[in-house]
Structure 1
Amino acid sequence: MQSKTIKRYSAAALFFLLVSGISCKKVLDLEPHNSTFTQAYFQTGQDANTAIAGAYALLRNVLMNHYSWHVYGDLPSGEYAVDGGLDAFNSPICNGQFTGLNVGPREWNWQNYYQLIQQINLVINKVPGVPLSTFANPDLKTQIVGEAFFLRAYTYFYMSRIWGDVPLKLQPDLDVSQALNIPRTPAATVLAQCLADCDSAANRLVFGYTDQTMAVVRANKGSVLALKAHIQAWKKDYASCEKTANEVIVNGGYSLVDSAHYSDVFVGRSTEGIFEVNINYGQSEGVALNNDDGSGDGGYLPTLAQPFIAGQTRVNWPINNEYVGMIFTDPADIRYNLYFYNDQQTIKYSNISYADGSAKNDPRLSNNLNIFRLPDIMLLRAEALQKLGREADAIPLLNAVKERAGIADYSGPGGDDLAKEILEERLRELFFEGQAYYDLLRTGQLLNYNKSFNPDQYQHGGWLWPIDPSMFKDDFTLVQTPYWRGKL
């Protein structure tokens, strides 16, 4: 049976490729172009650059849509106590309730991810055939293909941590009339492909940037290796993770921002940034923050109110003070005042501009979304070293991050105590950066930090999300995530 869903992916991706650049626009559901049109489009280096820019734009759309980066990566960790009266959609997720009256298809449906995958696969398939003479920089052709392999690895890794088994599609639908449904691929196979794509990307990319306008917001070799280290840690291949993370630290050219300028990290493009999603108002990439009505739209607005957002009197996503109090125990920690306001608002991402100037009725967020940065990789390597029994090598990495935060070096015992300290340093440093839930899952510590998460659900695989039953309508190859079968 042909897939109407995949036809829709292909049409949206091709349209986005032609019109979007790297700005964030709504993807339209148009009738699909045929393979002749697709072949005719990929003719020049400019076509190739526009195509990869379209892929970054689709990634931005995926991660920002309904706050999904934070809904998946932060809310189930216990970081927030979302006000159900103001945001009934996301409040249950804080307790690990992935189904129910208000949680539904927008969290379960992966269709927009396959719009992104289609775009990436087009780049991988078509750009190698574009004449090298049409590129302004002869290295750019190889770079673009490398970036596409990185984006595919990142997208599938991201999806697999949410849903586990996902359909693994490695070729574009050049003629959507021939598109076929693909069953869910085992997570182990997906992750193996992610690692293979990382190797393909790393072989085509270099550390640093020749064109500084691409710095941090376009992938380079450091971005690829940071991703690879995360995949290896997720697979609990700590020996490989340690080596990969060390290569990023030693060869990437990154450095910790000093304590006095720490807030600059969250504006973006700092010396410790490894890969970020561009959200810069000065480059017409700011995210519009509408007065939120609880519908789940509007950038990071749920965590912010006055005095950071003019006229916004409520905080839909207040911090969970029990959780925060459990991990922020040192009053000297500079991060507490830089991250939080009035023990309620999260203000890491509060660089706000107003499109209508002094009237302040149209707020725009202008903070890049941090995907990977140096302290993340330092602490990931420390975690790997501790697991490998090399604790004397792990502690200096841990202490470097603690010292930047103004808190005392670790002087406790090794073993479980050191493992807990490394984890909690990650939870502190990377608060509200889409990492906490995955860190707690990887280390097996979720129930110790989110005490509202149902233990039976966690122990039987319910930490993975269900998929939208409506996707079964046109795709009889799909099966529900095991824990959620018969529960939707």
Structure 2
Amino acid sequence: MKKQRLYIAYAAAVISASALVSSCSKILDLEPHNSTFTSAYFTSESDAKTALSGAYSILRNIMIRDNSWHKYGDIVSGELSIDGGRDNGNFNISNGEFIGLNVGSGNWNWQQYYQLLQQVNLIINKVPGIPDTKFGSVDTKRHVIGEAYFLRAFTYFYMSRIWGDVPLKLQPDLDVSTAKNIPRSPADSVWKQCLADLESAKPNLDFGYDADEGERAVRANKGSAFALQAHILAWKHDYAGCAEAANTVITQGGYALQSAGDYMKVFIGKTYEGIFEININDAQSEGLSLQNNPGFGVTMKSPFIDGKDGIEWPVNTNFVNMLYGKDSTTDIRYKNFFFASQGAEGQIIKFSNIAYADGAAKKDARLSNNLIIFRLADIMLLRAEALHALGQDGDAITLLNKVRERAGISDYDAVNDLGTSILEERLRELYFEGHAYYDLVRTKELPNYNEQFGSDQFQNGAPTGGWLWPVDPAMFKDDYTLTQTPYWRGKL
């Protein structure tokens, strides 16, 4: 029998909640079950909750592993001037060199995503069959189902922006011995399925977090589903649909821009601006150890991380000056996002909520900022982009100005092109939040902002190649259904 590829998530792959999930008594803190393949499982509310806990745990591990959220979403945008002496692999990646001796194959491998999808598919397949009477409230049951559909849509959309076409697997493998390899599905089909999943998620989810404010943003709700829908439709250039979905988030979600005075609380997490986040909270024994995960200190050094002298990922001073230059004296983002940005080792400090597990010794630094996926300012600017594309510039400018006013800079003056102004406001507002690369790809502006990314690679690869990542050749062993990303064929 051929060795099956890891579209199958073996029970052992569902990683321990003690390492990945908060210690509080919430759904995200429940230990993932270690035997989800048995017929005896999925019979109670506890089974459903622990399965969902396992899904969130795997997602968290994916997003923080080797800085993947920032690696895929920021490194190639031009925001950074990576020190090749300290981080040669990511220096190459920042120039669009997705292959080579210094670029690890882990960047090309999607197996962990299919572990998450196996877990989510089990929830979607099994939880509806658990009798309602096994739940304290039927709302709990529908929320679990809705969050599972959201997580599947998010995972496939995230993967499609990295690799384009990906295998679309919608059923769990209940018997490992009968699991089959499947080919890559066209990205359009993947997005269609993501949107269908969100339509399944929405009626099962609610706006707000009335039951437990401690779950704000770190569990998906109806606002998260509409925010993801807006992003998918913007990616597809369906701007009418994007504008509508974004408007639902803005007008019905119960979200609010954080005040200028408390702006940096957004990046600690769980504010009313947050829509979907990955929980990383030292107060809940969840902070990321910078000693065991040194990559998470790549944008900072002393005085923000005690005793750290070097910096792997300095800011790109030219990029910063292009975006903030004339407003640098008033823009609260320039003041709060950067430290010594005009030097060779300028730091990005928007995620600098550092705690020390060993107290005054300060040898065990912990990062305690949530990983922000979607927030209100992002959705407001995404709607502004959509409205501009639809010719509704007045409404677009109103949204743009709300974000600018919070930042302490003047309203849009109509001197610059509105589309460019909205794009650059996103680059300013969402600096190092995992969006810049995708924004520049979506708007076809990448080579204009990252001059090191060859325009030939970007243009010649469009729409299925040069800006997408290759697939790990190791995954081709015994799986003859896989094909390489077109641009990278013959290059690995």
User: How does the TM-score come out when normalised to structure 1?
Assistant: 0.94
Map of 1:241 onto structure 2: 242
Distance 1:322 1:400 in 2: 26
Map of 1:352 onto structure 2: 354
Report the Cα offset of residue 213 of structure 1. 2.6
The residue type equivalent to 2:83 in the other structure is D
Report the Cα offset of residue 97 of structure 1. 1.0
Q: Deviations over 1:64-98 (max 9, x none)?
A: 00000000000000110110111112111111111
Matched, 1:339 2:352: no
**Contact 2:17 2:57 (8 Å CA) reproduced:** no
Alignment of 1:49-448 (within 5 A): 49-209=49-209, 210-290=211-291, 297-329=293-325, 330-331=327-328, 332-343=330-341, 344-413=346-415, 417-448=417-448
Map of 2:21 onto structure 1: 22
**Contact 2:8 2:114 (8 Å CA) reproduced:** no
Report the Cα offset of residue 201 of structure 1. 0.6
**Contact 1:2 1:178 (8 Å CA) reproduced:** no
Q: Deviations over 1:442-474 (max 9, x none)?
A: 111101100010111111221000010010012
Map of 2:29 onto structure 1: none
Q: Which sits farther off after the overlay, 123-132 or 108-117?
A: 123-132
Q: Deviations over 1:415-468 (max 9, x none)?
A: x80000000000000000000000001111101100010111111221000010
Q: CA RMSD in A?
A: 1.8
Partner secondary structure for residue 184 of structure 2: coil
Distance 1:132 1:410 in 2: 53
Q: How many positions carry a matched residue from both structures? A: 472
**Contact 2:276 2:374 (8 Å CA) reproduced:** yes
Distance 1:199 1:300 in 2: 35
User: How does the TM-score come out when normalised to structure 2?
Assistant: 0.93
Map of 1:43 onto structure 2: 43
Say which of 463, 470, 473 aligns to 1:466: 470
Partner secondary structure for residue 204 of structure 2: coil
Q: Deviations over 1:291-310 (max 9, x none)?
A: 7xxxxx43521001011111
Distance 1:264 1:67 in 2: 22
Distance 2:36 2:221 in 1: 33
The residue type equivalent to 1:355 in the other structure is A
Report the Cα offset of residue 285 of structure 1. 1.4
Report the Cα offset of residue 138 of structure 1. 2.3
Residue segments in structure 2 that go unaligned for 5+ positions in a row: 24-33
Distance 2:370 2:17 in 1: 25
Distance 2:154 2:315 in 1: 28
Map of 1:27 onto structure 2: none
**Contact 2:299 2:347 (8 Å CA) reproduced:** yes
Distance 1:182 1:376 in 2: 35
Identity of matched residues, %? 59
Question: Would the alpha carbon gap of residues 448 and 390 (structure 1) be closer, same or farther in structure 2, given more than 3 Å must change?
Answer: same
Question: Would the alpha carbon gap of residues 197 and 138 (structure 1) be closer, same or farther in structure 2, given more than 3 Å must change?
Answer: same
Distance 1:151 1:63 in 2: 13
Partner secondary structure for residue 99 of structure 1: coil
The residue type equivalent to 2:194 in the other structure is C
Distance 1:207 1:189 in 2: 28
**Contact 1:17 1:119 (8 Å CA) reproduced:** no
Report the Cα offset of residue 411 of structure 1. 1.4
Distance 1:113 1:19 in 2: 20
Q: Deviations over 1:310-368 (max 9, x none)?
A: 11111110001111111112121111110001110000101011111111111111000
Distance 2:474 2:366 in 1: 34
Distance 1:367 1:190 in 2: 31
Q: Which sits farther off after the overlay, 235-244 or 41-50?
A: 41-50
Distance 2:7 2:158 in 1: 23
The residue type equivalent to 1:333 in the other structure is D
The residue type equivalent to 1:145 in the other structure is I
Report the Cα offset of residue 21 of structure 1. 7.5
Distance 1:70 1:135 in 2: 38
**Contact 1:2 1:180 (8 Å CA) reproduced:** no
Map of 1:29 onto structure 2: none
Partner secondary structure for residue 9 of structure 1: coil
Report the Cα offset of residue 2 of structure 1. 4.7
Q: Deviations over 1:113-156 (max 9, x none)?
A: 11111111111111112222222232100000000000000000
Distance 2:148 2:64 in 1: 20
Map of 1:294 onto structure 2: none
Say which of 454, 459, 481 aligns to 2:485: 481
Partner secondary structure for residue 374 of structure 2: strand
Distance 2:321 2:119 in 1: 43
Distance 1:55 1:20 in 2: 14
Map of 2:30 onto structure 1: none
**Contact 1:82 1:94 (8 Å CA) reproduced:** yes
The residue type equivalent to 1:269 in the other structure is K
Report the Cα offset of residue 203 of structure 1. 1.5
